[in-house]
Amino acid sequence: MPSLKDLKNRIATVKSTQKITRAMQMVAAAKLRRAEDAAHQARPYTERFNAVMAGLASSVAGSDSAPRLLAGTGKDDTHLLVVMTAERGLCGGFNSSIVRLAKQRIEKLRAEGKTVKVITVGKKGREQLRRDYGDLLIDHVDLSGVNRVGYGDAQGIAKQVLDRFDAGEFDVATIFFNRFESVISQVPTAQQIIPAKFETEGDAAPATLYDYEPSEEEILADLLPKGVATQIFAALLENGASEQGARMSAMDNATRNAGDMIERLTIEYNRSRQAVITNELIEIISGAEAL
């Protein structure tokens, strides 16, 4: 049976923890609004871009002159996984769900006898993957100093990926991130970026016949690397919104749990206080009777 003083201390501790989690929840809520806004602002660009690329890709696909970024290297031996996680923890299952998906993929690819290389973005994913797959990690992108993810950050990652592709280090690249559905739901997603795949909305009506300036091939060669950056940027933004959403609900839970705990402890505290008082009364009364 803990003493009254112990109980009092514990209540104070839980209360201050609750203050922290509540503050974190509010910070996450504010950041979420910003992150969601950023993701929203970027959407028109990504959509238009993919629509144009899908049209271009379908007209070039199949021809021998198709760029390697679109057609692939013709092999499927080495896979590069870009695993994007958060720089910080305390956001529920956000990081582990991405890592779990990546691990499943790694195991699957290994079972098929493929070579796997991993680039991590964000500290948390690196920490979790290093335990089991330390030898696969070839690089790490640190975004901890970045307050607000910009297109420049995505370009930096894209450039690294493209340089490695040009150097023939891998055949297929896939990015892993959490797609933001809502505050309580983030879906871990794997998306192939090289060779490029463009989602067309259904079987869209035959695309308009465009004039191209300069030629189709040149435009495609110019745009494909940008497509990689665009997809990475979109993923980073989705990830940012997801992280804040996950943190917000995790901290909301924590605050509520702390509230429950305080309630329980307070009841226990009152009970033991009552017991002490009763005890003292009994002592006084029995002392008086003995006289």
Partner 1 sequence: MADSFQFDLVSPERRLASFQATEVQIPGTDGDMTAMAAHAPTITTLRPGVLRVMHDGQTDEYAVSGGFAEIGENGVSVLAERAVPRGEATTEVIQGWINEAHEAHVKARETFKNEPGPVDDAAKLLSDMVAMGTHIGLDTRQPSL
| Complete DSSP assignment for 105-158 | HHHHHHHTT-EEEEEEESHHHHHHHHHHHTTTEEEEE--TT-SS--HHHHHHHH
Catalytic pick among 7, 57, 91, 183:
91
Q: What is the enclosing helix (H) or strand (E) of 16? A: helix 4-60
Minimum gap (Å) between residue 222 Cβ and partner 1: 5
Phi, psi of 198, rounded to the nearest 5 degrees: -115, 130
Minimum gap (Å) between residue 65 Cβ and partner 1: 17
Pick 112 or 213: Cβ nearer partner 1 = 213
Minimum gap (Å) between residue 24 Cβ and partner 1: 27
Taking the C-alpha atoms of residue 271 and residue 39, their distance in angstroms, rounded to an integer, is 52
Pick 228 or 250: Cβ nearer partner 1 = 228
Minimum gap (Å) between residue 219 Cβ and partner 1: 6
Would you call 34 a catalytic residue per the annotation?
A: no
Residue ranges that bind partner 1, judged by CB under 8 A: 38, 41-42, 44-46, 48-49, 52, 56, 150-151, 154, 208-214, 218-219, 222-223, 226, 229-230, 233
Taking the C-alpha atoms of residue 124 and residue 99, their distance in angstroms, rounded to an integer, is 9
Q: How many CB atoms lie within 10 A of CB 94?
A: 26
Pick 139 or 217: Cβ nearer partner 1 = 217
Phi, psi of 194, rounded to the nearest 5 degrees: -135, 125
Pick 60 or 261: Cβ nearer partner 1 = 60
What does the block give as tokens for 260?
């429950």
User: Which residues have a catalytic role annotated?
Assistant: 91
